[in-house]
Structure 1
Amino acid sequence: MRKRTALLVAAMGVLLIGGAGGADAADDSAAHRAAPNGGGSQKNRCDTSSVIGGVTLATSDITTETNCVNYSESGVSEQSNHCRTHSVIGPVTVNLTGSDVTQRTNCVNVSKSGGVTKQSNDCKTTSVLGPITIGAGEVTQETNCTNLAGTDSANGKAKHKASTAKTAGGTQSR
């Protein structure tokens, strides 16, 4: 039994996944400023899939973020984000010291001057088995979706897709 436990801890140490990722699109070009609602579009697709993961071995407070951001001064007609994280098992967090672990996905569309006709976010975190937390401490998983457009009354549809769930040993928002 000790060998299995040691092997599990070693495997999780090897599979330790952390860090930040993201994608962004920005446009403040002269052509777009001169032609508001010029028909341009900004799209991000941030997909992460794994069989086991992410796996986090926490010995201190950890925050990892994935950011999908579209920003336009003017002239864009559509902004959309597709941010998905999927794993078969996990995420798995081994919390050795009772630390706070936060894993966050942010999907943001900003049209500074307004006039955008469509802003949409499709943000989802799914797992077949999990999340799994071993040890004390709070584990928080968040998916935040935001659409912001200027004060222009011509701004169109804004769609959000996100889900929220609580897990044993911590809070989870998806």
Structure 2
Amino acid sequence: MATTQDFGTFMKDMMGSFPVNTDAAEDAWKTSAAFGEKASAIALDAADKTTDITMGWAMETYGRMGDLAKARPEVSDYAQAMSDFASAQLTSMTEHMTALGEVARGVQTDTLDLMLSAGKTMADDATAAGATAAEATETAATKSTAAASAATRRTTAVAKKTTAAAAETADKA
């Protein structure tokens, strides 16, 4: 008599024909990790340099404050000491702010280079992945179409047999 089509097997075969590329995911993870490592290196280097600059600036200021706090023989000497302190601080501020600006400029340049490099890498990876995915999808679609056609032919044949058997049974009755 008639046999029922096993659609579970059909679906399993159809879904199995769509490939999953785990290499692409691993490559994306490695690319992301490398990007993170480079970005962290830029940030940590900048933090190290700015810490050195600000610590040096603080130490200079503390040294000048020590000179400022010394006792003076004349009242006018206090005004001169304060003027010298302010002048030295202004010069120091200019030097240290320039140094901090240089660090910031270096970070900006390094970050821009990193972003451009990452953008190029991602564009190349996306192009390669797109080509691979298109090829794999075309192959999978062809296999799925062939499997669906075969299943349809089998179902049609079973339906014809069932119809013929039903007609034969009806004729005998």
Both structures adopt the same fold (TM-score exceeding 0.5): no
Bigger proportion of residues as helix: 2
Normalized per residue, the structure richer in strand is 1
Higher relative contact order (CA 8 A, sep 6+): 2
> Given the two structures, how large is their TM-score scaled by the length of structure 2?
0.25
What is the TM-score when the length of structure 1 is the normalising length? 0.25
